[in-house]
Amino acid sequence: MRLLPLCLLVLLWPALAPAETVRLLVSIGANVGDPDDAVLRFADDDAARMRQLFVELGGVRADRASMLVDDPAQEVRQKLAEVAGRVAELRGEGHDPVLVVYVSSHAKAGVLHLAGTHLPLAELRDSARKAGARLTLVVVDACESGTLAQKKGGRAAPAYDVALEKLPLHGEVVVSSSGPAELSEEWDSLQGSLFTHHLLTGLRGDADADSDGKVSLSEAYAYSYRRTVAGAAGAGQHPAYALELAGTGELVLTEPAVAKSALVFPAAASGRYVVSSRPRPDVVAEVDKEPGRPLRIAVPPGRYLVRKRAGASTGLLEVELPFGGERQVNESALEWRRYQEVAVKGGSLELKNAAVLALGRWEGTPIPGTGSRVAGALGYRHTWGPWWALGTVSGTRSTYRGVGLGITEGSLGLGASGGYRWLEWALVPHVGLSVELLGLRQSFQRDREEDIQDTLGLPPLESRSALGVAAGPVVGVEVPLPGSAFALIQGQLLVRYLPPSSEGVAPLRLVPLASAGAGFRF
């Protein structure tokens, strides 16, 4: 009898255990609206960035993050119906679903314009709510989207009047990028919408007011409201919100502290910093850093350019995080250039586009029957964004046997190659074409050379020189190393012309080459 309560507790444990929160996301971007709407340029990019952020930092699994681009209203309705079915399945399995819906598109008079079709904002809101999730968050970045918040009695309010940190909650939250009769701005310089840009920056860590490594809904809204109002042009843009919530706790949207890679601004740093990706110059974050506390901005692994404007000059710092990790952005590390140069070159600006290399090289048999060669090479590489050119000087010395004699061979090669590289990945592959001039000199030592000269009076065999040329494709991969260093591995398949040394030897020969070494950018 004493064990009965313990047995009952073990049997009931699955039912007593808290339900696992499962997040789902539907991210919608529509550049094309009605025929008389100007075509947007970055709505699809905003939707993709929002999806990436929630998968990276917001606890949404990739297979639960849907994205629709330039789809008509019927496709959106169908996707929301599918999500409602998935929510029902999750609830049946004992999970606790939370649904986030994001939209970037044209809108007017409370209606979304999606690829020539219409979807009322009220219908979007009702469909999201009826999906059955414990909590629903709807974010709409569109003109006049404030009617979505206004419908339930919400109104635009100063950033710090919001108090939403009360979870686990149930209910609905709606955030719109503008007021009921306001325009939502899209900026070329940001490659995206103004409100979404600031919301994304805040969710990456700049909105973390209490420095706990998490960004709550209230922190994100307060931050994006303040930055949007301060940056909007013309008549202004005022984000709005509406909520119908009950419960206690805190709604955390993202956790920048768990990110595998981040940029860290030290406590002493101050000013406006713009972080853009490479090679595509997308603005990832725009930070107004105040001195006093360090700031950690979570970013995906990759390559970045950090810019800080100061008068007529701009401070620049190239940062490589191809495999994750953290990198500090220190004032002393910035390289200063005139603003006009940065503005003209934009994303194609490179701070360190020169590099020196030391390579070891294996070469297939250049002369039949003489074996392969091992050589050393020095090189200089110059890059223009994804394009590259490399010049090399190589040399080798080898010995091998002929018929009744030993042969010593020395060679000097001058090579030039160029091509294209893909900078989107941590390991940077490249392809191109290469040409090479090869100077070859052979000296011969007969067996029993002294006896032959003394007995027969024959002079030593004369040395032989030849000049060859080769050309062919090159493929390789660049591996980033700490700092400005990198490793390089590449292979070539050359068709080489070398004047024949004897009758019956073909002057053209297919020669494989493999190189490996290290370089340093400066």
pLDDT for position 161? 37
Q: Let me know if residue 516 belongs to a domain.
A: yes
Average pLDDT over residues 497-519: 83
Q: Let me know if residue 456 belongs to a domain.
A: yes
Pairing, β 169-176 against β 135-141: parallel
Q: What CATH number is associated with residue 419?
A: 2.40.160.20
Structure tokens at 376: 């050393």
| Bridge partners for 493 per DSSP | 512
Amino acid at 404: G
pLDDT for position 18? 57
- Quote the mean pLDDT of the chain: 86
Cβ within 8 Å of residue 39, ≥6 positions away: 31, 32, 33
Q: Are residues 327 and 443 in the same domain?
A: no
Q: Let me know if residue 290 belongs to a domain.
A: yes
Q: Are residues 424 and 483 in the same domain?
A: yes
Q: Let me know if residue 122 belongs to a domain.
A: yes
Q: What would you report as the CA-atom Rg of the chain, rounded to the nearest whole angstrom?
A: 33
Burial of 98 per CB tally in 10 Å (0-12, 13-18, 19+)? buried
Q: Are residues 43 and 119 in the same domain?
A: yes
Q: Are residues 228 and 280 in the same domain?
A: no
Model confidence at 322: pLDDT above 60: yes
Amino acid at 212: D
Residue 299 CB coordination number (10 Å): 23
Q: Are residues 213 and 133 in the same domain?
A: yes
Smallest Cα–Cα separation from 31: which of 112, 123, 101?
112
| Bridge partners for 518 per DSSP | 358, 487
Higher pLDDT, 1 or 209: 209
Amino acid at 189: S
Query: Is residue 229 within 8 Å of 237, Cβ to Cβ?
Result: yes
Q: Are residues 266 and 243 in the same domain?
A: no
Amino acid at 166: K
Q: Are residues 253 and 310 in the same domain?
A: no
pLDDT for position 367? 72
Smallest Cα–Cα separation from 107: which of 75, 145, 69?
145
Q: Let me know if residue 176 belongs to a domain.
A: yes
Q: Are residues 125 and 203 in the same domain?
A: yes
Q: Let me know if residue 39 belongs to a domain.
A: yes
Domain boundary residue, one of 257, 289, 312: 257
Phi and psi dihedrals of 280, rounded to 5?
Answer: -75, 125
Write the DSSP assignment of 15-78 as a string of letters: HHSPPPEEEEEEEEE-S--STTSPPPSSHHHHHHHHHHHHHHHSS--GGGEEEEES--HHHHHH
Smallest Cα–Cα separation from 474: which of 423, 419, 426?
419
Q: Are residues 288 and 337 in the same domain?
A: yes
Domain boundary residue, one of 323, 345, 367: 345
Q: pLDDT confidence of 187, banded at 50, 70, 90?
A: confident
Q: pLDDT confidence of 486, banded at 50, 70, 90?
A: very high
pLDDT for position 159? 36
Query: Is residue 478 within 8 Å of 421, Cβ to Cβ?
Result: yes
Q: Let me know if residue 477 belongs to a domain.
A: yes
Please tell me the distance from the alpha carbon of residue 379 to that of residue 391, in angstroms, as a whole number: 5
pLDDT for position 160? 33
pTM of the complete model: 0.77
Structure tokens at 140: 């709409």
Q: What CATH number is associated with residue 110?
A: 3.40.50.1460
SS3 87: helix
Query: What domain range includes position 320?
Result: 260-345
State the total domains in the chain: 3
pLDDT for position 452? 77
Please tell me the distance from the alpha carbon of residue 228 to that of residue 236, in angstroms, as a whole number: 9
Please tell me the distance from the alpha carbon of residue 239 to that of residue 125, in angstroms, as a whole number: 17
Query: Is residue 323 within 8 Å of 347, Cβ to Cβ?
Result: no
Pairing, β 373-384 against β 387-401: antiparallel
Average pLDDT over residues 87-113: 95
Domain boundary residue, one of 288, 311, 345: 345
Pairing, β 405-421 against β 387-401: antiparallel
pLDDT for position 502? 60
Q: Please give the distance of CA 268 from its chain centroid, rounded to a whole number.
A: 28
463 secondary structure, DSSP code: P
Smallest Cα–Cα separation from 380: which of 354, 406, 411, 408?
354
Q: Are residues 290 and 165 in the same domain?
A: no
Average pLDDT over residues 39-51: 95
Please tell me the distance from the alpha carbon of residue 55 to that of residue 504, in angstroms, as a whole number: 66
Q: Which string of b and e fits 412-446 if b means at least 16 CB within 10 Å?
A: ebebebbbebebeeeebebebebebebebebebeb
Q: Are residues 276 and 237 in the same domain?
A: no
The rounded percent of the chain whose pLDDT value lies above 90 is: 57
Phi and psi dihedrals of 384, rounded to 5?
Answer: -130, 85
Query: Is residue 442 within 8 Å of 408, Cβ to Cβ?
Result: yes
Q: Are residues 232 and 373 in the same domain?
A: no
Q: Let me know if residue 407 belongs to a domain.
A: yes
